[in-house]
Amino acid sequence: MNRLFCVIPCYNEQEVLPETSKRLQEKMETLIRKGKISEDSRVVFVNDGSKDNTWKMIQRLHEENPLFQGINLSKNMGHQNALLAGLLTAKDVCDAAISMDADLQDDINAIDEMVDKFLEGADVVYGVRSKRATDTFFKRFTAESYYKLVNALGAKTVYNHADFRLMSRRALLGLAEFGEVNLFLRGIVPMVGYNTEIVYYERAERFAGESKYPLKKMLSFAVEGITSLSTKPIKMITGLGIFIFFVSIAVLIYSLVRYFTGHTITGWTTTVISVWAIGGLMMISLGVIGEYVGKIYLETKNRPRFIIESYIADEQDEAVFKDNEHR
Protein backbone atom coordinates (compact mmCIF):
# COMPACT_ATOMS: atom_id res chain seq x y z
CA MET A 1 0.00 0.00 0.00
CA ASN A 2 1.26 3.46 -0.89
CA ARG A 3 2.62 5.83 1.74
CA LEU A 4 1.41 9.40 1.23
CA PHE A 5 3.00 12.53 2.72
CA CYS A 6 1.26 15.92 2.77
CA VAL A 7 3.84 18.70 2.86
CA ILE A 8 2.62 22.04 4.25
CA PRO A 9 4.98 25.06 4.41
CA CYS A 10 4.08 27.36 7.31
CA TYR A 11 5.01 30.95 8.08
CA ASN A 12 3.17 32.58 10.99
CA GLU A 13 0.18 30.26 10.65
CA GLN A 14 -0.86 29.92 14.32
CA GLU A 15 -4.35 31.23 13.57
CA VAL A 16 -5.18 28.66 10.92
CA LEU A 17 -3.06 25.66 11.98
CA PRO A 18 -5.59 24.10 14.41
CA GLU A 19 -8.29 23.93 11.74
CA THR A 20 -5.85 22.86 9.01
CA SER A 21 -4.52 19.99 11.10
CA LYS A 22 -8.04 18.91 12.04
CA ARG A 23 -9.25 18.76 8.44
CA LEU A 24 -6.09 17.03 7.21
CA GLN A 25 -6.34 14.43 9.96
CA GLU A 26 -9.92 13.66 8.97
CA LYS A 27 -8.95 13.40 5.30
CA MET A 28 -5.93 11.16 5.90
CA GLU A 29 -7.89 8.85 8.21
CA THR A 30 -10.65 8.57 5.61
CA LEU A 31 -8.16 7.64 2.88
CA ILE A 32 -6.58 5.06 5.21
CA ARG A 33 -9.98 3.50 5.98
CA LYS A 34 -10.73 3.26 2.25
CA GLY A 35 -7.42 1.47 1.73
CA LYS A 36 -6.06 4.07 -0.69
CA ILE A 37 -3.01 4.95 1.42
CA SER A 38 -1.06 3.13 4.14
CA GLU A 39 -1.48 3.65 7.88
CA ASP A 40 2.00 5.14 8.17
CA SER A 41 1.16 8.06 5.86
CA ARG A 42 2.02 11.42 7.39
CA VAL A 43 1.37 15.17 7.35
CA VAL A 44 4.60 17.19 7.46
CA PHE A 45 4.47 20.85 8.51
CA VAL A 46 7.55 22.85 7.48
CA ASN A 47 8.12 25.82 9.78
CA ASP A 48 9.73 28.56 7.69
CA GLY A 49 11.19 30.70 10.48
CA SER A 50 7.82 31.72 11.92
CA LYS A 51 7.84 34.48 14.52
CA ASP A 52 4.69 33.33 16.29
CA ASN A 53 3.81 30.02 17.99
CA THR A 54 3.62 27.98 14.79
CA TRP A 55 6.53 25.66 15.68
CA LYS A 56 5.29 25.08 19.22
CA MET A 57 1.91 24.13 17.82
CA ILE A 58 3.52 21.70 15.38
CA GLN A 59 5.44 20.10 18.25
CA ARG A 60 2.21 19.77 20.23
CA LEU A 61 0.43 18.18 17.27
CA HIS A 62 3.18 15.58 16.95
CA GLU A 63 3.02 14.76 20.65
CA GLU A 64 -0.73 14.22 20.41
CA ASN A 65 -0.74 12.25 17.16
CA PRO A 66 2.19 10.61 15.26
CA LEU A 67 0.32 11.38 12.03
CA PHE A 68 1.88 14.85 12.23
CA GLN A 69 5.57 15.47 11.70
CA GLY A 70 7.55 18.71 11.63
CA ILE A 71 10.58 20.24 9.98
CA ASN A 72 11.98 23.39 11.52
CA LEU A 73 14.16 25.52 9.22
CA SER A 74 17.03 27.50 10.74
CA LYS A 75 15.55 30.79 9.48
CA ASN A 76 13.00 32.16 7.06
CA MET A 77 14.03 30.79 3.65
CA GLY A 78 10.94 31.75 1.67
CA HIS A 79 7.87 29.78 0.62
CA GLN A 80 9.45 27.97 -2.34
CA ASN A 81 12.53 26.90 -0.37
CA ALA A 82 10.40 25.72 2.56
CA LEU A 83 8.22 23.71 0.20
CA LEU A 84 11.27 22.18 -1.47
CA ALA A 85 12.74 21.31 1.93
CA GLY A 86 9.63 19.31 2.79
CA LEU A 87 9.45 17.56 -0.58
CA LEU A 88 13.12 16.60 -0.72
CA THR A 89 13.03 15.43 2.88
CA ALA A 90 10.00 13.24 2.22
CA LYS A 91 11.16 11.78 -1.12
CA ASP A 92 13.10 8.89 0.44
CA VAL A 93 10.32 7.74 2.79
CA CYS A 94 7.12 8.17 0.76
CA ASP A 95 5.55 6.82 -2.42
CA ALA A 96 3.90 10.15 -3.19
CA ALA A 97 3.75 13.63 -1.70
CA ILE A 98 1.08 16.30 -1.91
CA SER A 99 2.09 19.92 -1.43
CA MET A 100 -0.42 22.57 -0.40
CA ASP A 101 -0.63 25.81 1.56
CA ALA A 102 -1.70 25.98 5.19
CA ASP A 103 -4.40 28.62 4.71
CA LEU A 104 -7.10 26.12 3.57
CA GLN A 105 -7.63 27.89 0.25
CA ASP A 106 -6.66 24.67 -1.51
CA ASP A 107 -9.57 22.21 -1.43
CA ILE A 108 -8.58 19.29 0.81
CA ASN A 109 -11.36 17.19 -0.73
CA ALA A 110 -9.52 17.31 -4.07
CA ILE A 111 -6.86 15.07 -2.49
CA ASP A 112 -9.15 12.05 -3.08
CA GLU A 113 -9.13 12.56 -6.85
CA MET A 114 -5.39 13.29 -6.82
CA VAL A 115 -4.71 9.99 -5.09
CA ASP A 116 -7.00 8.19 -7.57
CA LYS A 117 -5.06 9.69 -10.50
CA PHE A 118 -1.80 8.59 -8.85
CA LEU A 119 -3.10 5.04 -8.36
CA GLU A 120 -4.05 5.02 -12.05
CA GLY A 121 -0.45 5.76 -13.00
CA ALA A 122 0.03 9.55 -12.92
CA ASP A 123 3.37 10.79 -11.58
CA VAL A 124 2.32 14.44 -11.26
CA VAL A 125 -1.23 15.62 -10.58
CA TYR A 126 -1.81 19.38 -10.74
CA GLY A 127 -4.53 21.05 -8.70
CA VAL A 128 -6.00 23.71 -11.00
CA ARG A 129 -8.54 26.36 -10.07
CA SER A 130 -11.81 25.90 -11.96
CA LYS A 131 -12.83 29.53 -11.40
CA ARG A 132 -11.92 32.67 -9.46
CA ALA A 133 -15.33 33.66 -8.09
CA THR A 134 -13.90 34.51 -4.66
CA ASP A 135 -11.35 36.95 -6.08
CA THR A 136 -11.84 40.67 -6.58
CA PHE A 137 -11.74 41.93 -10.16
CA PHE A 138 -8.25 43.36 -9.61
CA LYS A 139 -6.95 40.10 -8.10
CA ARG A 140 -8.51 38.02 -10.87
CA PHE A 141 -7.22 40.30 -13.63
CA THR A 142 -3.65 40.48 -12.27
CA ALA A 143 -3.48 36.74 -11.55
CA GLU A 144 -4.69 35.71 -15.01
CA SER A 145 -2.43 38.30 -16.64
CA TYR A 146 0.45 36.91 -14.57
CA TYR A 147 0.03 33.37 -15.92
CA LYS A 148 -0.31 34.61 -19.50
CA LEU A 149 2.75 36.87 -19.21
CA VAL A 150 4.93 34.19 -17.61
CA ASN A 151 4.04 31.68 -20.33
CA ALA A 152 4.44 34.25 -23.12
CA LEU A 153 7.96 35.01 -21.90
CA GLY A 154 9.03 31.39 -21.98
CA ALA A 155 8.48 30.11 -18.42
CA LYS A 156 6.03 27.28 -19.10
CA THR A 157 3.54 26.83 -16.27
CA VAL A 158 0.14 25.21 -15.81
CA TYR A 159 -2.54 27.89 -16.11
CA ASN A 160 -4.27 28.71 -12.80
CA HIS A 161 -2.07 26.25 -10.91
CA ALA A 162 -0.12 27.36 -7.84
CA ASP A 163 1.61 24.80 -5.58
CA PHE A 164 -1.24 22.37 -4.91
CA ARG A 165 -0.02 19.17 -6.55
CA LEU A 166 0.78 15.51 -6.05
CA MET A 167 4.16 14.11 -7.08
CA SER A 168 5.16 10.46 -7.10
CA ARG A 169 8.48 9.38 -5.62
CA ARG A 170 9.89 9.06 -9.14
CA ALA A 171 8.88 12.66 -9.89
CA LEU A 172 10.35 13.84 -6.57
CA LEU A 173 13.66 12.16 -7.40
CA GLY A 174 13.57 13.97 -10.74
CA LEU A 175 12.88 17.27 -8.99
CA ALA A 176 15.91 16.67 -6.75
CA GLU A 177 18.12 16.74 -9.86
CA PHE A 178 17.38 20.44 -10.36
CA GLY A 179 20.02 22.26 -8.34
CA GLU A 180 19.26 25.93 -8.96
CA VAL A 181 19.15 28.36 -6.05
CA ASN A 182 16.58 30.67 -7.68
CA LEU A 183 13.46 28.55 -7.22
CA PHE A 184 10.20 28.76 -9.13
CA LEU A 185 8.62 25.35 -8.59
CA ARG A 186 5.56 26.16 -10.70
CA GLY A 187 7.89 26.26 -13.70
CA ILE A 188 10.39 23.60 -12.63
CA VAL A 189 7.91 20.78 -11.92
CA PRO A 190 6.54 20.74 -15.52
CA MET A 191 10.16 20.35 -16.68
CA VAL A 192 10.42 17.08 -14.72
CA GLY A 193 8.07 15.44 -17.20
CA TYR A 194 6.50 11.99 -16.70
CA ASN A 195 2.79 11.26 -16.90
CA THR A 196 0.70 14.20 -15.69
CA GLU A 197 -2.97 14.74 -14.90
CA ILE A 198 -5.11 17.69 -13.78
CA VAL A 199 -7.69 17.89 -11.01
CA TYR A 200 -9.97 20.94 -10.98
CA TYR A 201 -11.17 22.47 -7.71
CA GLU A 202 -12.74 25.64 -6.36
CA ARG A 203 -10.32 27.72 -4.31
CA ALA A 204 -11.80 29.07 -1.10
CA GLU A 205 -11.05 32.27 0.77
CA ARG A 206 -8.26 32.21 3.32
CA PHE A 207 -9.61 30.63 6.55
CA ALA A 208 -7.78 33.01 8.91
CA GLY A 209 -4.77 35.29 9.13
CA GLU A 210 -3.29 37.50 6.43
CA SER A 211 -2.08 36.62 2.95
CA LYS A 212 1.66 36.04 2.67
CA TYR A 213 1.59 37.17 -0.96
CA PRO A 214 0.65 40.86 -1.28
CA LEU A 215 0.86 42.57 -4.69
CA LYS A 216 4.49 43.63 -4.26
CA LYS A 217 5.56 40.08 -3.46
CA MET A 218 3.51 38.68 -6.34
CA LEU A 219 5.25 41.03 -8.78
CA SER A 220 8.61 39.95 -7.42
CA PHE A 221 7.54 36.32 -7.74
CA ALA A 222 6.55 36.89 -11.38
CA VAL A 223 9.97 38.40 -12.18
CA GLU A 224 11.62 35.47 -10.38
CA GLY A 225 9.68 32.97 -12.48
CA ILE A 226 10.45 34.64 -15.80
CA THR A 227 14.15 35.28 -15.23
CA SER A 228 14.78 31.91 -13.54
CA LEU A 229 13.40 29.81 -16.36
CA SER A 230 13.67 31.79 -19.58
CA THR A 231 16.16 33.91 -21.55
CA LYS A 232 13.41 35.30 -23.75
CA PRO A 233 13.54 38.82 -22.20
CA ILE A 234 17.21 39.11 -23.23
CA LYS A 235 16.33 37.92 -26.74
CA MET A 236 13.61 40.54 -26.85
CA ILE A 237 16.15 43.21 -25.95
CA THR A 238 18.36 42.00 -28.79
CA GLY A 239 15.42 42.16 -31.19
CA LEU A 240 14.53 45.64 -29.96
CA GLY A 241 18.13 46.77 -30.45
CA ILE A 242 18.14 45.50 -34.04
CA PHE A 243 14.83 47.24 -34.71
CA ILE A 244 16.10 50.56 -33.32
CA PHE A 245 19.28 50.19 -35.39
CA PHE A 246 17.29 49.95 -38.63
CA VAL A 247 15.05 52.81 -37.54
CA SER A 248 18.18 54.93 -36.92
CA ILE A 249 19.43 54.14 -40.44
CA ALA A 250 16.07 55.22 -41.86
CA VAL A 251 16.19 58.45 -39.81
CA LEU A 252 19.77 59.06 -40.99
CA ILE A 253 18.77 58.71 -44.67
CA TYR A 254 15.77 60.95 -44.12
CA SER A 255 17.95 63.60 -42.42
CA LEU A 256 20.51 63.55 -45.24
CA VAL A 257 17.79 63.93 -47.87
CA ARG A 258 16.33 66.88 -45.94
CA TYR A 259 19.81 68.41 -45.60
CA PHE A 260 20.75 68.21 -49.29
CA THR A 261 17.37 69.51 -50.41
CA GLY A 262 17.68 72.53 -48.13
CA HIS A 263 14.79 71.68 -45.82
CA THR A 264 16.74 71.23 -42.61
CA ILE A 265 14.78 72.44 -39.59
CA THR A 266 16.07 72.50 -36.05
CA GLY A 267 13.93 69.89 -34.27
CA TRP A 268 14.25 70.45 -30.57
CA THR A 269 11.16 68.35 -29.70
CA THR A 270 12.30 65.43 -31.84
CA THR A 271 15.76 65.51 -30.28
CA VAL A 272 14.48 65.58 -26.72
CA ILE A 273 12.00 62.77 -27.35
CA SER A 274 14.67 60.66 -29.03
CA VAL A 275 17.16 61.14 -26.20
CA TRP A 276 14.62 60.28 -23.49
CA ALA A 277 13.17 57.32 -25.43
CA ILE A 278 16.54 55.75 -26.19
CA GLY A 279 17.79 56.52 -22.68
CA GLY A 280 14.74 54.86 -21.13
CA LEU A 281 15.12 51.76 -23.30
CA MET A 282 18.79 51.51 -22.36
CA MET A 283 17.98 51.72 -18.64
CA ILE A 284 15.29 49.04 -18.95
CA SER A 285 17.67 46.84 -20.94
CA LEU A 286 20.42 47.24 -18.36
CA GLY A 287 17.93 46.41 -15.61
CA VAL A 288 16.85 43.17 -17.29
CA ILE A 289 20.44 42.14 -17.98
CA GLY A 290 21.35 43.06 -14.40
CA GLU A 291 18.59 40.77 -13.13
CA TYR A 292 20.15 37.86 -14.99
CA VAL A 293 23.67 38.77 -13.87
CA GLY A 294 22.45 38.85 -10.26
CA LYS A 295 20.97 35.38 -10.63
CA ILE A 296 24.23 34.07 -12.11
CA TYR A 297 26.04 35.58 -9.11
CA LEU A 298 23.75 33.77 -6.67
CA GLU A 299 23.97 30.47 -8.53
CA THR A 300 27.79 30.50 -8.62
CA LYS A 301 27.90 30.95 -4.84
CA ASN A 302 26.10 27.60 -4.54
CA ARG A 303 24.58 28.52 -1.19
CA PRO A 304 22.27 25.98 0.50
CA ARG A 305 18.65 26.43 -0.45
CA PHE A 306 17.57 25.58 3.08
CA ILE A 307 19.10 24.51 6.39
CA ILE A 308 17.09 22.28 8.70
CA GLU A 309 17.46 22.99 12.39
CA SER A 310 15.40 20.11 13.78
CA TYR A 311 12.88 17.38 13.03
CA ILE A 312 10.04 15.82 14.90
CA ALA A 313 9.18 12.49 13.34
CA ASP A 314 9.21 8.74 13.87
CA GLU A 315 12.67 7.38 14.69
CA GLN A 316 12.92 5.56 11.37
CA ASP A 317 11.89 8.62 9.34
CA GLU A 318 14.09 10.94 11.38
CA ALA A 319 17.15 8.82 10.58
CA VAL A 320 16.43 9.20 6.88
CA PHE A 321 15.62 12.90 7.22
CA LYS A 322 19.03 13.65 8.73
CA ASP A 323 20.67 12.65 5.47
CA ASN A 324 18.87 15.56 3.74
CA GLU A 325 19.65 18.44 6.12
CA HIS A 326 21.60 20.64 3.69
CA ARG A 327 20.63 21.22 0.07
Query: What are the tens digits of pLDDT across the range 121-180?
Result: 899 999 888 775 556 666 666 666 666 666 666 667 777 777 889 999 999 999 888 877
Query: Would residue 256 be called left, alpha or beta, if left means φ above 0 and alpha means ψ between -120 and 50 degrees?
Result: alpha
Q: What ranges make up the beta strands (E) of 177-302? A: 196-201
**Domain boundaries in the chain?**
4-215+304-324, 232-301
**Are the C-beta atoms of residues 128 and 158 closer than 8 Å to each other?**
yes
pLDDT confidence tier of residue 37, bands split at 50, 70 and 90: confident
The pTM (predicted TM-score) of the whole model is: 0.69
pLDDT confidence tier of residue 208, bands split at 50, 70 and 90: low
Helix 137-152 to helix 215-229 angle (10° resolution) is 10
Q: What is the pLDDT of residues 278-318, one digit of tens each?
A: 766 776 777 677 767 766 666 666 667 777 878 887 766 66
pLDDT at 203 (0 to 100):
73
**Are the C-beta atoms of residues 86 and 99 closer than 8 Å to each other?**
yes
Q: What is the pLDDT of residues 237-288, one digit of tens each?
A: 667 776 766 676 676 676 666 666 665 555 555 665 566 567 667 767 776 7
Across all residues in the chain, what is the average pLDDT? Answer: 77
Nearest-angstrom CA–CA distance, 291 and 282: 14
Q: Name which CATH class applies to 4-215+304-324.
A: alpha beta
Own/partner long-range contacts of 145-149 (Cβ < 8 Å, ≥24 apart): 146/218, 146/222, 149/222, 149/226
Average pLDDT score over residue span 91-106: 87
